[in-house]
Amino acid sequence: MTLPIIGFAGMSHLGLISAVAAAEKGFDTICYDPDSQQIAKLARNELSIVEPDLYELLEKNQSRIKFSEDLQELTTCDLVYIAVDVPTDDLAQSDLKPINSLVSQVDANLGSDAVMVILSQVPPGFTREHLRNGRQIYCQVETLIFGQAIARALYPERTIVGCAEPSNSLPQAFAQFLDSFGCPILPMRYESAELAKISINMCLVASVSVANTLAELCENIGADWSEIVPALKLDKRIGQYAYLAPGLGISGGNLERDLATVCNLADQNGTDSGVVRAWVANSHHRRDWVLRTLHQGTLSKVDDPVITVLGLAYKQDTNSTKNSPSIALLENLTPFQVRVFDPVVPASAAPNPRCHAAESEYEACDGSDVLVVMTPWAQFKQLDLLKVAKRMRDPVILDPYGVFQAKACRDAGLSYHTLGVPAE
């Protein structure tokens, strides 16, 4: 049987990852983006995003991936994914103009039997609004995780497909492509699929909010959240993969978008969204844990302190700084000297006039009064803590994500502070 040709419109993070996964599954793919510079870079395997295994798979599947700025290339496709990232503003509201425009352009360039699938992050109601006579259109839920995007794209737990009529069979090309991923396919009405994506994220936010709320309590009553988490994960109602690691609030952009969407829909429909707004408030509160702790221990006590910040990305294994807690922290440290290091994000991303771009983690610690680990990059775990302590003026570590072991820090003479554990 001939394999269908898969098109991807929009070479954003989502589009590129999805296209590489399709090629890895053996499908010829055509990747369209109107940005000719972006297309030229991708054709040379030059990547502007960081994801484990992405470069290797792109190189390996080069023969099956064609990058193009020509929309008409998509006419040969049997199935085309609309995979452009939907931008959000400072209030996490989606700007749908670019995707609306892209859908119209792609639709006009597809063969009559070709299937269009909306993969982008769209609000409930979007796909039905784009139903057109004669065009087979579906939506598919992406559950991309920055830093694990390739693995998630290759081995999804399930595929959620939004359909005009869920009881009808999927078109052959679409079914053939989805079957290659070997996971359950869940067809449902458009609105259900669009809300399923949001529902997944709400469950994750709920778990994280529980973790953050109780971790803060632990910090104040002598309990240790890291001791409690294993007990929760062994409870079948909670589960071993539950998001129970405390953090610095919600970041990255996508979860915030979904929170805003739920609040907007609730406002429009008169349903209760009090708990969602409470999650948002809790996220804002926890984001500033580092600032409050820094103020208490250093900023209010040391004259012109030097602060080391390791990590600028919003999480490890990505170069995205969207809503990054590190960037948010640095915005509030403008009066102070900061020494910054991130393995992939340049120090120029730090909004601080007194920022020193360090060439290494160790150099960043020179003469510092406090070390703050704002992104849990794996390479930070390998640091020689004795060496770190020796280079610092005052050996204090704020490690919200628990990159280091408390005992190892203490042994190295470092005063250690992390989430979910009372301060020493």
Partner 1 sequence: MIIHTNQEPTKPPRAVLLGATGFIGAAIQQQLNSAAITTVALGSADINLLDSAASDRLGEILRPDDSVVVLAALTPDKGRDIATLMKNLAMMQTVCAALEKSGCGHLVYFSSDAIYGTEVSQVTEETPVAAQDLYGTMHYTREIMARSLAAVPVLVLRPTVVYGRDDTHNSYGPNRFRKAAQTDGKITLFGGGEETRDHIHVDDVAALTIRCLLHRSTGMLNVATGVSTSFYEVAETISKQFGGGVEVITTPRANPITHRHYDPTNLIKAFPDFSFISLKDGIARVHEGSANTL
**CB of 130 within 8 A of CB of 165?**
no
The CA distance from 18 to 21, in Å, is 5
The CA distance from 134 to 144, in Å, is 30
Q: Does 332 bind partner 1 (CB under 8 A)?
A: yes
Closest separation between CB of residue 304 and partner 1, Å? 9
State the number of binding residues for partner 1 (CB under 8 A): 13
Binding partner 1 (rule: CB under 8 A), the pick from 97, 132, 158, 301 is 301
Binding partner 1 (rule: CB under 8 A), the pick from 16, 242, 327, 333 is 333
Q: Does 259 bind partner 1 (CB under 8 A)?
A: no
Q: Does 275 bind partner 1 (CB under 8 A)?
A: no
Piece of 121-129, 256-264, 283-291, 341-349 that binds partner 1 (CB under 8 A): 283-291
Nearest to 88 by CA among 27, 12, 184, 175: 12
**CB of 29 within 8 A of CB of 67?**
no
Q: Does 422 bind partner 1 (CB under 8 A)?
A: no
Q: How far is CA 57 from CA 17, 42, 65, 154, in A?
A: 10, 13, 11, 11
Task: Determine if residue 311 is left, alpha or beta; phi over 0 gives left, psi from -120 to 50 gives alpha, anything else beta.
Answer: left
Q: Does 281 bind partner 1 (CB under 8 A)?
A: yes
Piece of 62-70, 153-161, 331-339, 343-351 that binds partner 1 (CB under 8 A): 331-339
Report the half-sphere exposure of 314 (CA within 13 A, side-chain side).
17
Binding partner 1 (rule: CB under 8 A), the pick from 300, 359, 382, 407 is 300
Q: Does 135 bind partner 1 (CB under 8 A)?
A: no
Contacts of 68 (CB under 8 A, 6+ apart): 30, 31, 32, 39
Phi/psi of residue 334, nearest 5 degrees = -60, -30
For helices 190-221 and 225-233, what crossing angle results, to 10°? 140
Binding partner 1 (rule: CB under 8 A), the pick from 97, 132, 292, 387 is 292
Binding partner 1 (rule: CB under 8 A), the pick from 32, 225, 314, 336 is 336
Closest separation between CB of residue 348 and partner 1, Å? 21
Closest separation between CB of residue 287 and partner 1, Å? 9
Our CB check for partner 1 shows the closer of 41 and 354 to be 354
Binding partner 1 (rule: CB under 8 A), the pick from 335, 346, 351, 422 is 335
Nearest to 8 by CA among 94, 73, 95, 90: 73
Binding partner 1 (rule: CB under 8 A), the pick from 97, 132, 295, 381 is 295
Q: Does 272 bind partner 1 (CB under 8 A)?
A: no
Closest separation between CB of residue 278 and partner 1, Å? 12
Sign of the C-alpha dihedral computed for residues 389, 392, 395 and 400 taken in this order: negative
Q: Does 291 bind partner 1 (CB under 8 A)?
A: yes
Piece of 133-141, 242-250, 262-270, 327-335 that binds partner 1 (CB under 8 A): 327-335
Q: Does 91 bind partner 1 (CB under 8 A)?
A: no
Tell me the residue ranges of DSSP E strands in 235-385: 306-310, 337-341, 355-357, 370-373
Nearest to 90 by CA among 275, 327, 313: 327
Q: Does 217 bind partner 1 (CB under 8 A)?
A: no
**CB of 396 within 8 A of CB of 417?**
yes
Residues of the shown chain interacting with partner 1 in the complex, contacts defined by CB under 8 A: 281, 285, 288, 291-292, 295, 299-301, 332-333, 335-336
